[in-house]
Amino acid sequence: MAINAPYPALSPDETSDSALQFPDNRLLIDLCGELDRNIVQIEQRLGVAIHRRGNQLALHGSPQEREAAEQVLRALYARLEQGRPVTPGDIDAVIRMGGAPEARTPAPDPGQLEMFDGGPLEIRTRRKVVEPRTPTQRVYVRDLFRHELVFGLGPAGTGKTYLAVAAAVAMFIEGRVDKIILSRPAVEAGERLGFLPGDMKDKVDPYMQPLYDALNDFFPPKQVQKMIEEKQIEIAPLAFMRGRTLANAFVVLDEAQNATTMQMKMFLTRLGEGSRMAITGDVTQIDLPRGVMSGLIEAERVLRGVDGIGFAYFKAEDVVRHPLVARIIRAYESARPEG
């Protein structure tokens, strides 16, 4: 059933502004969620009141609120008809992608996504299926599979690194690359690195932990450890990339705002035959010493418009962590001095 397929028309009763009817009561139960938690989430996000009456949902609110809620409910019901789950994250994604007041950015033209055979835009890994939850994430995922070099720029919590690692895992599973290489600048290490206990791996692992966390979401932890031992996965500081040619690999550089101009140029020129690169960063969180220019800012300026390179720009509305994170980011943006 298509998402926008019409449901049987109902006349609003004396207390409701509009109503939707769903033919399968079992799916309607899943749509509402345990203790109607899915309905509560939609109500809180869209400002509409929803009441279940038999196999129909009555909607109370302004015409705009009811229209947005109808689109979301129909999209979620269509997911259930396709045998796909409805989780809080899925509801959040449908609201963002379906024209809710807080997400007006249009999704890419579906005709541009022919590489996904007309099916849902998603990344399949061993442990889970990852779907874009905002229009910008949708553009980013499309670019990760389409371009050999992609930049994901924007604030923390927008899924830049997570989606890049997911794409790397999916391409590894499909045999499109032979290894995964994940890197970050260890800018805080410097001279203090030598004072940390253990060997070099023990010293740098704290800086790499977010990358391990992402991998463990997509592979069983024991498999991750085995792949690291077999050099199918490498996790290393940016400095370790010097002098290498990275062929047949998916390479992710995280926190790239902390790479210097020379480091960034060094990293970009490591790209070898059959490889792809994803570079993520937030230019508002640069930890380099005062007066040292971020290589990410320079790379964006120099490479923007170069054929074969994709840029995805994330904003506060793309934050998929706690909603308060987006409000914090907006507050800091508003307080930033002009110029």
Beta carbons within 8 Å of 36's beta carbon, 6+ residues apart: 52
Lowest-confidence segment of 32-36, 94-98, 104-108, 178-182 by average pLDDT? 104-108
Rounded distance between C-alpha atoms, residue 296 and residue 312, angstroms? 13
Q: Which residue has the higher pLDDT, 202 or 309?
A: 309
Question: In the structure, what pLDDT confidence band is assigned to residue 261 with cuts at 50, 70 and 90?
Answer: very high
Average pLDDT over residues 102-110: 38
Q: Determine which helix (DSSP H) or strand (DSSP E) holds 312, and give its type and residue range.
A: strand 309-313
Class of domain 112-335: alpha beta
Rounded distance between C-alpha atoms, residue 79 and residue 71, angstroms? 12
Question: In the structure, what pLDDT confidence band is assigned to residue 296 with cuts at 50, 70 and 90?
Answer: very high
Segments making up each domain of the chain, as ranges: 18-97, 112-335
Nearest to 296 by CA among 267, 257, 268: 257
CATH of domain 18-97: 3.30.1370.10
User: Residue 63 phi/psi, 5° resolution?
Assistant: -55, -40
Give yes or no for residue 195 having a pLDDT over 60: no
Q: Which residue has the tokens 């196999």?
A: 55
Give yes or no for residue 91 having a pLDDT over 50: yes
Predicted confidence (pLDDT) per residue in 129-173, tens digit: 888 888 899 899 999 999 999 999 999 889 999 999 999 999 999
Predicted confidence (pLDDT) per residue in 6-60, tens digit: 444 444 443 447 788 888 888 888 888 888 888 888 888 888 888 888 788 888 8
Q: Which residue has the higher pLDDT, 207 or 130?
A: 130
Rounded distance between C-alpha atoms, residue 333 and residue 3, angstroms? 37
**Positive or negative torsion for Cα 69, 72, 78, 84:** negative
Reduced to 3 states (helix: H, G, I; strand: E, B; else coil), residue 334 is helix
